[in-house]
Amino acid sequence: MKILVTGAAGFIGANFVYYELGKHDDEIVGLDALTYAGNLETLEVALQNPRFKFVKADITDRTAMDALFAEEKFDVVVNFAAESHVDRSIENPEIFLMTNIIGTQVLMDAAKKYAVGRFHQVSTDEVYGDLPLNRPDLLFTEETPIKTSSPYSSSKASADLLVGAYARTYGFPATISRCSNNYGPYQFPEKLIPLMIANCLANKQLPVYGEGLNVRDWLYVEDHCKAIDLIIRKGKVGEVYNIGGHNEMTNIDIVKLILNALDKPESLITYVTDRKGHDLRYAIDPTKVGKELGWAPETMFADGIKITIEWYLNNRDWWGKIVSGEYTQYYDKMYANR
Ligand code: NAD
Ligand code: TYD
């Protein structure tokens, strides 16, 4: 089988490339526009594998996508490519609409024209909006209505609706997965967990939004990759699958755990102005993917966070370069005087 993985130089896309290369004998083409979030160094080891090839391209580029699909004749497309950071979407929504919505449409048009057998859209639990903090009994199921909060989640939800429309209107062979927050190696240090690890190691303040009581449902990235792997092979066309490991934690608990693990003082914590429209709580009900595809999370948070912290300690080169480039300007803009 030949699989196109878009967003392959990003956090989850790269982890997925490594998972697939290790698990199956398929050929993988990794595509990425190498935006600020994409890093070809992440794929250094994959690039030595004869079953892997990298293409630098933008998913909104219709001409490039048409030529690529005509040449490669993919069996499966997994679309990870996206603008993915909520805070950036609040500052500048437009690029989110271009990449996340138009990019998905352009990819689907190419997949439809060249009769790709399966198109998998990697979506997010954020399309369901948020849950109240005082109702731990409530979880997102696949039937929960879409009700977004941020420009990011709205763009992801729009893409999901388009994927659904292509499936129904054209019989397009698509599946969608909606996963909770991921953590693990190769995550860009603008996101909560790697940002807190990097700041801790530099003895910098840890900016906690609001009171730090918002809840996220954390899943180790490899467990997400395993679920997508099952969906593209055994999932039913037209279906949506929620993915999550019942691991809800408040932001402040995560931050304290990282401080503890790195033996740093809690005085590094700084409470800063809350994110606009900040979603209170995400929590996934993964019953369907468990029952239909036999998926279950395998890495407990206590183990996953240890592996992750260890990885950032051992790979300072990888993220050291990132936190000294464009990211410095972003960081100063977003966090100075917050
Ligand atoms: P990321 O920002 O680390 O990676 C995204 C990649 O897409 C980057 O390498 C970037 O260069 C590339 N890209 C951006 N615009 C592009 C374009 N126009 N053409 C081609 N490539 C482009 O994001 P991530 O955390 O790896 O997320 C991957 C996918 O998973 C996204 O679709 C995201 O919505 C979804 N998701 C993420 C999480 C999470 O916790 N990180 C949870 C659920 C779903
Ligand atoms: P993030 O990693 O941006 O993921 P998402 O917003 O998609 O869930 O943020 C996770 C949580 O951490 C979210 O509630 C916002 C909070 N947060 C902070 O408190 N401080 C920070 O510097 C960042 C980046 C996030």
Say how far apart CA 159 and CA 153 lie, in whole Å. Answer: 10
Spatial CA neighbour of 246 closest among 299, 306, 292, 286: 286
Which ligand 1 atom sits nearest the alpha carbon of residue 84? 2
Residue among 178, 185, 188, 298 at smallest CA distance from 247:
298
Burial class (CB in 10 A: 0-12, 13-18, 19+), 307: middle
Show the domain range for 79. 2-187+219-246+278-298
Residue 259 in domain: no
From ligand 1's centre to the CA of 301, what distance in Å? 22
Q: Is the CB of 214 under 6 A from ligand 2?
A: yes
Q: What is the DSSP string of 262-296?
A: TT--GGGEEEEPPPTT---B--B--HHHHHHH---
Known catalytic residue at 125: yes
168 alpha carbon to ligand 2 midpoint, in Å?
35
**Ligand 1 atom index nearest CA of 83:** 14
Ligand 1 nearest atom to the CA of residue 98, by list position:
18
**β-pairing, 248-250 with 2-6?**
unpaired
Given the CA of residue 255, which atom of ligand 2 is nearest to it?
19
Catalytic residue among 27, 125, 160, 217: 125
- The answer to the question of residue 172 being in a domain is yes
270, β-bridge pairs = 207
Residues near ligand 1 with C-beta < 6 Å? 6-7, 9-13, 32-35, 37-38, 58-60, 80-84, 99, 103, 122, 124, 156, 179, 181-182, 188
| 9 and 215 Cβ atoms separated by less than 8 Å | no
The residue-averaged pLDDT of 60-82 equals: 98
Give percent above pLDDT 90 in the chain: 95
Using alpha carbons only, what angle is made at residue 286 by residues 183 and 166, rounded to the nearest 5 degrees?
90
Alpha carbon distance 104, 93 (integer Å): 16
Across 119-135, average pLDDT: 98
CATH of residue 238? 3.40.50.720
Q: How many structural domains compose the chain?
A: 1
pTM: 0.98
Identify whether 83 is a catalytic site residue. Answer: no
Q: What is the pLDDT of residue 330?
A: 86
Phi/psi at 172 (nearest 5 deg)?
Answer: -65, 130
pLDDT digits (tens, 9 = 90+) for 235-258: 999 999 999 999 999 999 999 999
pLDDT band of 323, cuts 50, 70, 90 = confident
Question: Percent of the chain, pLDDT > 70?
Answer: 100
Tell me the C-alpha distance between 10 and 120, whole Å: 17
How far is the C-alpha of 186 from the C-alpha of 6, rounded, in Å?
16
| Through-space distance between the first and last CA atoms of the chain, rounded to whole angstroms | 49
Structural domain contains residue 233: yes
Task: Determine whether the shortest distance from the Cβ of 284 to ligand 2 is under 6 A.
Answer: no
- Residue-wise pLDDT for 174-221, tens only, equals 999 999 999 999 999 999 999 999 999 999 999 999 999 999 999 999
100 lies in some domain: yes
Distance of CA 319 to the CA centre of its chain: 18
Give me ligand 1 centre to Cα 37, in Å: 8
Q: What's the token pair of residue 325?
A: 């480039």
Choose the catalytic residue: 18, 19, 152, 331. Answer: 152
Give the model confidence (pLDDT) of 5-51 as tens digits.
999 999 999 999 999 999 999 999 999 999 999 999 999 999 999 99
Residue 192 lies in a domain: no
Span from the CA of 34 to the centroid of ligand 2 (angstroms)? 23
Residue 284 lies in a domain: yes
Q: Quick one: tokens of 236?
A: 């039913």
Distance (Å) from CA 191 to ligand 2 centroid: 6
Residue nearest to atom 22 of ligand 2 (CA): 207
Indicate whether residue 207 lines ligand 2 (CB < 6 A): yes
Q: 271 lies in a domain? A: no
**What pLDDT shows up at residue 326?**
80
**How far apart are the CA of 67 and the centre of ligand 1, in A?**
23
Is residue 256 domain-resident? no
Closest atom of ligand 2 to 190 CA is 24
